[in-house]
Chains A and B, each alone.
Chain A
């Protein structure tokens, strides 16, 4: 390109601010691509690799009676069962000091920590637990601030016993505490015996089958159940686990798809800035294009010249975005994997993400610039050397005349020009509006999603007419529970419920398990007003329902391919098996991957099957709503019921507020990322507006001179341009509001399905509409200042010599 190289470099260097803006705009898009694509790639593969590295069990079987190691190992006689490792897990209570409140925790005990077979625990620091020490789970240590050397008090055998924490242990499958997970502690077998688990006796079995397939694992689970049943051992739950796929993979995959779409949108906005910047350069240098062509330069020469400039923008952006993207992806992956208790300490990068970044940095700006460059390069020498007129192409269409009419009515002279100026270059207006509208729509959508989540949770919690639910470790008499609680201060009403785990059997199937966690059949007392879920099809239970009818979740219905009117068989293990007619399906809203979707049936019908009358394992409580906080009341009730030997399980016993908090935490990460992206888009929109107004200043240099010559002062001229910017901001707001209203609904549906496995109840955020109006006016104002200042400095001499 010879001498023209000098021009390319000169343009880049002389117009540093413009170069920096263009490079930064591309950097934002390329960085988003690198960070998000890198994060996605590393996160998903990191989760699976970490999962595969711990020799994951395929079946996690929880039995109703203790079994010894020999019985457990004898299951390997079943063809296809290649290994069984027994273990114990229990819900316990601990506190950090004698005067501190009791906290729920999970105690885990493995027969031989140094020779684990499946679901490997790893010692991160210290030593494995012995008779007098306890190991703390690594995430528990972080979240609850329990350090090595701390002493913890555990409630065991009716007494309190203190143990020093001497080991920091990683458990590969602990639910994140942010999402409702509990504290995890590790004990040896001797200590576990004090929690009521005799040494050498186990309630949980980790099993691998071979060759693995989901269907074969289910088939072998059925065989194991059958074998155990012959020995009089009931199975209360079987958790299935894919050996290749982390349990959180599907949830994260859904979120990463949304993030990828947003990264592409972010790149798109960057590309629009490139179009704007290129148009600005071409506009500023139209006369130079004319000269080059008059000296023998062809359209190709000119196009090459400007495309080279754009390529350099892209390469400079890549220089920043590539390392930043790689680093951001690694750090974000590290942080997110840590939530899932996965270490990601050594530096990794995604080759695939780097390829995408290079393509995004090089191709996207070039493709974006192609149209303005080719259009500019094809300009004839006569057009290029002609000076800009004062009128442009404004005033010919009806729209223009309507705008002018409106401006005259709304704005004082000379600011009427500002509104007209907006519409002078409609193509550019469209591009700038595109970015600003997109930013606005995203902002409004994110806040609408957030309010929809809150609204969904509120509605769901409102359907629960109780303020808290307490679960018991064992069954108690329901009349006793209710009698004890109804006299307790702060309790308005208490209703004891009975639930039992079971398995939904599809027609024709005998004992094979269907859902990963099975099902839980709830007996709802006739006439109960404590809860009525959102019914999707059919109806909810009525006081007249005493027959064997059930209301099942939509997911359970879809999984088992049943609909209202069908009959399902529910196997309750040693408690029997019965057919129930499905009278309704409901929308289950639960972010907890470890929970099962309840099946609701009239209490008399459940009693009829189980023969367990006047029994309950949980109680729902309506409070008086007086002075006392429900969290405090829950803890008081825990103590109170404990004193009557009704031990409350802390695992699922929660108040309404705690339920909301756990559910909202699940959404918080996605919400934060979406919100950050909306802010970035707002900034990119501002940069786009700044570029667009800068071109306007150049184009209207002569017009500014004329205004000056007839008495226009710098403040008047500056105000004219700032007003134009602000009007563009307001216009984008007017467009963003209906757009966000239309788009937020399907987006809420997608995110709801991903996170809650339910459609969110849509709640448009009207406060956000007002907030964005203020924000976009501020962005537009700030973006207009530099171009307006430049316009205010133009002298008559400069303006009339221009061209």
Chain B
């Protein structure tokens, strides 16, 4: 679907979102009128110091949390108006979520973890689910570990299994909250390559990260400070990307530090 100007409609539309949290007798405002459009096929990195609102913004997009004011439209649905149950069904079909701590169900093997969203949403025919789960695990390089429990594989492998699980119902939008935060640099690079592959397959990706070096390897960098979007540029135009390109060096520096 495209807009009047020929550009595709945004897959994520965040309009004037304000989010306040009660604290003691008062409240704290974490997002202060954030607006953001994300288009299909984009790889958007949300960066910024800790506690400045990037995970909160991601929670608005996934419907995990509701805005105090403003509206959030994702895949054409007014997420801020949906009930918990409607959100669960919508997420299962349209969204793949990847968490920092992998969050695989410890009771299920990797393949069963990948099959779980298919069982819940029932979009994929029952007969095809094991095969599709195996294909996804193969894609992330875990076909030979498919029947192991999460506790039996490494953190990097768990995160790759979580990526396979996020793709289970072939959602158009993948969101990842600090997906490499708990991984060593080599494993983090492997995971990032998988994300790049997803973009190549036409998925839209939103990633919260502390690492500017990783952020600038996406297509767009959105920087949040004090509840405002302070910088929203194509990744290639971000100063870090230019510096990296100029010095041809990878400087590992955390934005928040």
Contact = CB atoms under 8 A, between A and B. Distances in A.
Nearest to A384: B64
Contact of B105 (A7, A300, A381, A801): A7
Interface stretch (B72-80, B85-93, B214-222, B232-240): B85-93
Overall SS of chain A's interface:
helix
Contacts of A14: 107
B207 interface: no
Interface stretch (B5-13, B119-127, B184-192, B247-255): B119-127
A295 B121 CA distance: 8
Interface in B87-116: 87-89, 91-93, 97, 99, 101, 103-109, 112, 115-116
Contacts of A67: none
B84 interface: yes
Contacts of B85: 298-300
A543 B194 CA distance: 111
A409 interface: no
B65 interface: yes
Contact of A296 (B93, B103, B105): B93
B116 A292 contact: yes
A380 B120 contact: no
A295 B91 contact: yes
Interface in A1-46: 1-4, 6-7, 10-11, 14
B115 A3 contact: yes
A570 B169 CA distance: 94
A288 B105 contact: yes
Interface in B35-64: 59, 62-64
B210 interface: no
B62 A294 contact: yes
Interface string A277-298: 0000000000110111111111
A800 to B, nearest CB: 12
B117 interface: yes
B165 interface: yes
Nearest to A2: B119
B120 A295 contact: yes
Interface in A362-385: 378, 380-382, 385
B120 A301 contact: yes
B86 to A, nearest CB: 9
Which of A14, A299, A381, A385: most chain B CB closer than 10 A?
A381
Contact of A2 (B64, B65, B87, B115): B115
B231 to A, nearest CB: 27
A797 to B, nearest CB: 13
A803 B182 CA distance: 14
B68 to A, nearest CB: 14
Given A6-B107, A297-B92, A299-B84, A380 B116 contact: no
A375 to B, nearest CB: 13
A6 B121 CA distance: 17
A11 B120 contact: no
B79 to A, nearest CB: 12
Contact of B107 (A11, A299, A801): A11
A288 to B, nearest CB: 6
A385 B64 CA distance: 9
A295 B108 CA distance: 14
A4 B119 contact: yes
Interface string A192-221: 000000000000000000000000000000
A296 B121 contact: yes
A378 B119 contact: no
Given A287-B103, A291-B103, A3 B64 contact: no
Nearest to A4: B119
A99 B5 CA distance: 124
B17 to A, nearest CB: 15
Contacts of A287: 103
Contacts of A291: 99, 103-105
B88 A10 contact: no
Nearest to A287: B103
A509 to B, nearest CB: 76
B140 to A, nearest CB: 17
Q: Which 8 A-B pairs have the closest CB atoms?
A: A296-B92, A10-B107, A2-B119, A296-B120, A295-B117, A7-B107, A296-B121, A381-B64
21 contacts: A3-B115, A3-B116, A6-B109, A7-B105, A11-B107, A290-B103, A291-B103, A291-B104, A292-B120, A294-B88, A295-B92, A296-B88, A296-B92, A296-B117, A297-B120, A300-B85, A380-B84, A381-B84, A385-B99, A801-B101, A803-B101
